[in-house]
Chains A and B, each alone.
With several copies, the nearest count.
Chain A
Amino acid sequence: MRLHEYQAKSVFADAGIPTPDATLASSVEEVVEAAEEIGYPVAVKAQVHVGGRGKAGGIKLAESRDEAEEAAESIIGMDLKGYHVDRVLVEEAVDFKNELYVGVTMDRGEGKPVAMVSTKGGVNIEEVAEEDPDAIAREHIDPAFGMHPYQARKAVYDAGVPRELARDVASVLQTMYQLWDDRDASEVEINPLMVTEDDEIIAADAVMNIDDDALFRQQELAEMEEETFEDDLERKAGEYGFDYVRLSGNVGIIGNGAGLVMTTLDLVDYYGGEPANFLDIGGGAKAERVANALDMVFSDENVDAVVFNIFGGITRGDEVAKGINNALEQFDEIPKPVVVRLAGTNAEEGREILNDELVTVEETLEDAVQRTVEYSEEEAQ
């Protein structure tokens, strides 16, 4: 789960990290009111989960009431890389002489968190990492001990943060690790951490991503999740409890197990088709889940044909077959061609049950995918 900038900033501010004066607004009037209250210049910033908001026109600086109005009008309601902008953060524009980067993330390779500090803030840190890796000081944290104070200091000094700022930046980093740890974050980041002329530091942006698997014990953060901002189909997948990713093609894909579904996608591509989605119904799926999965792909207007690929381990082929039959029997006409491939536990029983007036049955993965791609090409014409 990714927090919005305004949410992350409020979490950071509560923990004692300095953030600019800011107000959330969802109308032009509210933006102007907030801007007048805060005083110019202000930044008007779209609150959507999209990287590179600035370049895409989602962040505008306003020096006056007119400019604030203008910024609000152009941003509120805009479509930013597919996301509709409902709300903006109106924020004091901070004068700065320098931009730093501080963040904590999980280093998969090491299996432990890593704290990072750089004096090259304000730009994409992944670019810095590629072009000038030495510009980022990294300090791995032992998750049993947590971050020792000396580690925060070391990262800050190693990064070359000026000595007069070191104590404050180290303190921010220590707080960020604490948040990372306490809140089950997968990532926390301030980029840029601005340095003012008076050597004050202030978090001009804020990123906080929470481990979805830990939301059960992060109630306060879980409640911040805002469904309205998500893709409709992805929301539906969330309700059904599917792992789902929407893609740009026209071949709907349903399967059990992430690796197998990914492989099905790859085979669709391999045989010249274009995957419309990743949909994993998980293990041990019963009839209702099967029907829900079909509902998902049928709801996607881009889908022209569907491949249903099940390798039964826990999942039983006859259960799946029944589910498919039941789900499809409710239609007067099947909306899109469905190809089913069953293997593993009770696969034969399943294939026997499957109503081949409703679906095309194939025995091998390769045949099923090829057939589906053919259907999708026919339908697309």
Chain B
Amino acid sequence: MSVLVDSDTRVVVQGITGGEGKFHAEQMMDYGTNVVAGAVPGKGGQEVNGVPVYDTVHEAAREEDADASVVFVPPAFAGDAVFEALDAPLDLVVAITEGIPTQDMAKVNKRLSEVDTRLIGPNCPGIITPGEAKLGILPGNIFESGDVGLVSRSGTLTYQVVDNLTSRGIGQTTAIGIGGDPIIGTDFIDALELFEADPDTKAVVMCGEIGGEDEEEAARYIAENMDTPVAGFIAGRTAPPGKRMGHAGAIVSGSGTGTAESKINALNDAGVPVGDTPNEVADHIEDFL
């Protein structure tokens, strides 16, 4: 089993006629994802990889009975694209785009509180249920179907950890890249809640990083609500305060909030072992299974 996506998920690719959109639509389809439509204003009536393109997400959703979308739209227009998907409405929107202005995301965040749609991202690699479907840019070949749920703020770090798992024969139920921006849709707690409710997920990896207090809050959530064991990893132990480490959200503020130390302590206090290396995370998961 899995959370959020599987081979039945009917996916619209927003921005399917762009370079990235086209490439990844093909990759997703190759992986088995049920891509049913593209949506690009002004390109309605075209086809990309045999998939029909519509001018609006509403039309794509209506005509193709889609329930999810993946957003590959340039940052200046991506906030609007997410609004369009939320209002279509779809059940799930995965925003890959990096560099959406924060104030655009604050407005999206407000709308999210008004609708039932779930947003993953932005600035994220997407979500994958190995062997069923991937919505995003994750390299399908490193994943394997199995018992471990994974949630991460980072893209390639996720691949690293997954590689450490898969190479030991530990597969995944679903892996969710929640993204590295300060304001995101699905957060750790949302993802952990899904995994806790999924009977097939026997253990969870949570990859955090410096910045914000989401990991601390997740730790509290785990302590209070989770039976499924969780192992953690926190990137950015050596990051100096005030410097943004790539991700817009990965910054230790001047006042000292958002440090790796605070997050690791919180997780440890919640009974979550935190690996010093990605490989150690796999050790902990192996112990759980």
Contacts and interface: CB of A to CB of B under 8 A. Distances in A.
**Are A and B in contact, CB atoms below 8 Å, in the complex?**
yes
Interface of A: 51, 106, 108-109, 111-113, 126, 129-130, 142-145, 148-150, 153-154, 157-158, 163, 166-167, 181, 184, 186, 211, 213-214, 216-217, 243, 245, 247, 255-263, 265-270, 275, 278, 280, 283, 311-314, 343-345, 364-366
Contacts of B77: 149
A313 B155 contact: yes
A106 B107 CA distance: 12
A278 B238 CA distance: 10
A186 B102 contact: yes
Contact of A213 (B100, B125, B237): B100
Interface stretch (B192-200, B220-228, B244-252, B265-273): B244-252
B169 interface: no
A131 to B, nearest CB: 11
A148 B84 contact: yes
Contacts of B278: 263, 365
Contact of B55 (A143, A157, A259, A278): A157
Given A166-B42, A259-B158, 8 more contacts: A109-B217, A143-B103, A154-B56, A157-B59, A213-B75, A217-B101, A313-B138, A345-B139
B156 A313 contact: yes
Interface in B94-143: 99-107, 109-111, 125, 137-139, 141-142
A345 B182 CA distance: 29
Nearest to A170: B41
Contacts of A311: 156, 159-160, 163
Interface residues of B, number: 79
Contacts of B42: 163, 166-167
A311 B142 CA distance: 11
B103 A216 contact: no
A68 B253 CA distance: 35
B235 A111 contact: no
A109 B56 contact: no
A283 B154 contact: no
A312 B156 CA distance: 8
Given A184-B101, A213-B75, A263 B157 contact: yes
Interface in B165-224: 180, 182-183, 207, 209-214, 217
B155 A213 contact: no
B153 interface: yes
A217 B102 CA distance: 13
A106 B183 CA distance: 10
Nearest to B276: A270
B259 interface: no
A259 B207 contact: yes
19 contacts: A51-B254, A108-B182, A109-B217, A143-B109, A150-B80, A154-B58, A157-B59, A163-B44, A186-B102, A213-B99, A243-B246, A258-B245, A260-B156, A260-B160, A262-B210, A263-B160, A265-B239, A266-B236, A313-B138
Given A126-B254, A243-B246, A314-B137, A266 B237 contact: yes
Given A112-B109, A163-B42, A344-B163, A269 B238 contact: yes
Nearest to A109: B213
Q: Which 3 A-B residue pairs are closest in the complex by CB-CB distance?
A: A259-B154, A258-B246, A257-B156
B48 interface: no
B279 interface: yes
Which among A129, A214, A260 has the highest number of chain B CB atoms within 10 Å?
A260
